[in-house]
Structure 1
Amino acid sequence: MTTSTAVRLLGAAMLAGLLSACASTDPAPVTAPAEPTTSVAQAEERLAAVAKERAAIQARYAEREAVCYEKFFVNNCLEEAQERQRAALSAQRAIEIEASRFLRRNKVEERDKAIAQAEAEYKAEEAAFAANPPPAPREVAPLPPPRPRAADAAAARQKARAGSAPSKLTPEQEAANVRAFEENERKAEERQREVERRKAEREAKSAKRAEQEAKAKEGAAAAAGK
């Protein structure tokens, strides 16, 4: 074997060794379709797991990148690391899309259910209202006319007597009757005011007595506590 042949064989062996050192023994991950989500809780768990896994993918890529810079064929090693990162992120993206789609679909279904329930309740209320209409509003009786004053009442009675039969009283007697009627009205009002005043006094005395009794009980309780 000549010297040049030996050199070529040695170079080929070194190149093969470098290529095998750069290549990874683990195959790149293959993106598989995401399994269907069946509940809101599962969708939320998957979204949280995707966020955590993305951070882990970035950390693994940083580690591989540091290793690649120590190898002879840096570019090939970096391309492989980037491809592995892309495949891993693509798989997480598929999971994220499927879980997010489930949440949106569930939200629309819940909204449609709420609208349908509200519409059903409205129709039920309308049917119940039509079957049992409320009673017509009761007419309120008009208030009685205000009580006439004493002079007006006396004048009205005098007018009525004058229209029905001739009065046997003289004007002086009629005036005396009016004064007597007004005096009776005044005394009745005074008696009413006196009754109300006495009632208010009794209530005030009762309230004051109750307050004094309450204070006495509080003082006795405080003394007993000491």
Structure 2
Amino acid sequence: MSPYLDEFILIALAHFFAVASPGPDFAIVLKQSISFGRRNALMTSAGVGLGILVHVTYCLLGVALLLSQSPELFNVFKYLAGAYLAYMGVQALRATAAPASKQNDAAQPVQESAFSALRRGFLVNALNPKATLFFLSLFTLVIDPDTPQSVQLFYGLYMAVATWLWFSSLSLVLSKAAVRGFFQRAGHWFDRAIGVVLLLLALRLVI
């Protein structure tokens, strides 16, 4: 692994700045943490990490090169992602105020299934054209074509695990009772604000 240490460090730094920048992944983990609590947020984070493997897989298979050479195919992918983000944004905008008896009940959040949370995180990341462009740049410009595929696979697995750990850490902080209680005092307004953010992200993707 030592001959590729410099390449790995460059990839790790690029990935850190990419994953730490606000975007659809952060927005959905934040919403899950506040709306549903720690377990769901952690499952959503795991889904985001699994979504990374989709990008790694098509880069290793050469599909990234096809996407870069076919604007029409990339646009279809981009509009699908925008539509999904817009759908989630509209759902969030429809949030209504909770009954007064439940507004301070941060310890007993309404739950959705673990699979639904996992799927939500997975789809947000896997359909994110920003992530597509990032991995396309990594695998075509940063990673040397002569780097063995086994090493490239290691890079991809590292980025998937690092993404999962990053968003899981955020979930642990954002789902604390004090943090959730702060947001849930006006929870439906918070959901609507996240809805606006998701709609703006969808608009940004397709323009």
- Fold shared per TM-score above 0.5: no
The TM-score bracket by the shorter chain reads under 0.3
The structure that has the greater radius of gyration is 1
Instruction: Answer 1 or 2: higher relative contact order, Cα 8 Å, separation at least 6.
Output: 2
